[in-house]
A = this chain, B = another copy of it.
Amino acid sequence: MIKITKQDEAKNTNKEIRKRRNMLFKNIPITNANRLINHGPTVLITSRLGEKINVMTVAWQMPVSFKPMLVAVAIGHERFSHKLILESREFAINIPNLEMLKDVLCCGTQSGKDIDKFKVCNLTPVKAQKIKAPLIEECIGNIECKLYSTHEAGDHTVFVGEVVATSVKEGIFDNYLRVDLEQAKTLHHIGGKVFCSPGGIIKS
């Protein structure tokens, strides 16, 4: 008889998480990009200017147009990503899952001005298809954007991006994001330190 210890179980769980994290991204039609963020998940925005890459946590995002497919994110004037996106005219929206709560908090509470947040927050930058900004390997999906327009709104700038590529991890997009699957449970910021996550799917 082989005795399975708690440590073995933990090792297996970690292996499972790593395996899921390393699954391949698969392209979906650009016209379906809105179906990754329609329901309001908190996202990680990646950007690059020259050799400098950055990632920040953003709760304020929404699609804004079907034709062309446009998405918008609101970013505070003082944020380092604000400068990187304005100058590089590119960004990516990366969708973390519930397992990544710690990473999301890490990216949301530090500035990339002085540190490499990918390293500090233990995230893996991977090459995008159509833009120079990196994607995040651990995330479940991403939306690559070229800057379409910017709009000032109080203490934030609304960056509108035209979607140029969209991909999702294998097995979790079936014409809609399968938030009923453990791996695809998105994170949603309510306020302060409080989040929620989908309890399942409702088909009307």
Contacts and interface: CB of A to CB of B under 8 A. Distances in A.
Contacts of A66: 154-155
A67 to B, nearest CB: 5
User: What's the interface size class on A, roughly?
Assistant: 35 or more
Interface stretch (A18-26, A89-97, A196-204): A196-204
Interface stretch (A36-44, A80-88, A126-134): A36-44
A151 B180 CA distance: 35
A60 B160 CA distance: 13
A179 interface: yes
Contact of A60 (B64, B175, B177, B193): B64
Contacts of A179: 190, 196
A204 B195 contact: yes
Given A66-B155, A149-B153, A160-B153, A191 B203 contact: no
A194 B188 contact: no
B154 A64 contact: yes
A157 to B, nearest CB: 9
Given A64-B74, A72-B153, A72-B158, A196 B199 contact: yes
Interface of A: 32, 34-35, 37-41, 59-70, 72, 74, 98, 101, 105, 148-149, 151, 153-156, 158, 160, 175-177, 179-180, 187-204
